[in-house]
A and B are shown apart, each in its own frame.
Chain A
Amino acid sequence: MCTAGRCLRSGSAAFFLSKPVDSRVRLASARLLCSASSDIQKDLGEMVKKDKVVVFMKGTPAQPMCGFSNAVVQILRMHGVDHYGAYNVLEDQDLRQGVKDFSNWPTIPQVYFNGEFVGGCDILLQMHQNGDLVEELKKLGITSALLEAEKESK
Chain B
Amino acid sequence: MEDTAQVQSDQGEYQTVIASCLCLCVSSLFFFCYVCYTVRLVQETSVNVKCVQVVMLSRTSAHVRPLCTRLLSSRPLMSDPCRPVETSIRAKLTDALQPEHLEVHNESHMHAVPPGSESHFRVLVVSPLFDGLSLLQRHRLVNTALQEELSTRVHALAIQAKSPQQWAADPSLGKSPGCLGGSKGDHTVQSKLQTER
Contacts and interface: CB of A to CB of B under 8 A. Distances in A.
A68 B177 contact: yes
Contact of B179 (A67, A105, A106): A67
Top 10 A-B residue pairs of the complex, sorted by shortest distance between their CB atoms: A67-B177, A66-B182, A65-B182, A106-B150, A123-B135, A58-B182, A71-B177, A67-B178, A119-B136, A122-B159
B102 to A, nearest CB: 16
Contacts of B182: 58-59, 65-67, 69, 90
Interface residues of B, number: 23
Interface in B48-92: none
A122 B178 CA distance: 14
B177 A70 contact: yes
Given A66-B179, A122-B139, 8 more contacts: A67-B180, A68-B156, A105-B143, A106-B157, A107-B156, A107-B157, A123-B136, A127-B135
B174 interface: yes
A96 interface: yes
B189 to A, nearest CB: 11
Contacts of A105: 143
Nearest to B151: A106
B176 interface: yes
Interface string B174-191: 101111111000101000
B19 to A, nearest CB: 58
A90 B150 CA distance: 18
Contacts of A69: 180, 182
A134 to B, nearest CB: 15
30 contacts: A59-B182, A64-B180, A65-B180, A66-B179, A66-B182, A67-B176, A67-B177, A67-B178, A67-B179, A67-B180, A67-B182, A68-B158, A68-B176, A70-B177, A70-B180, A90-B182, A90-B186, A106-B143, A106-B147, A106-B150, A106-B151, A107-B150, A107-B157, A118-B136, A121-B177, A122-B139, A122-B158, A122-B159, A122-B174, A127-B135
Interface of A: 58-59, 64-71, 90, 93, 96, 104-107, 117-123, 125-127
Contacts of B151: 106
B193 to A, nearest CB: 16
A119 B137 CA distance: 10
A58 B160 CA distance: 22
Contacts of B180: 59, 64-67, 69-70
A104 B181 CA distance: 25
B135 A126 contact: yes
B9 to A, nearest CB: 72
Contacts of A71: 177
B179 to A, nearest CB: 5
A58 to B, nearest CB: 5
Contacts of A121: 158, 177
Contacts of A68: 156, 158, 176-177
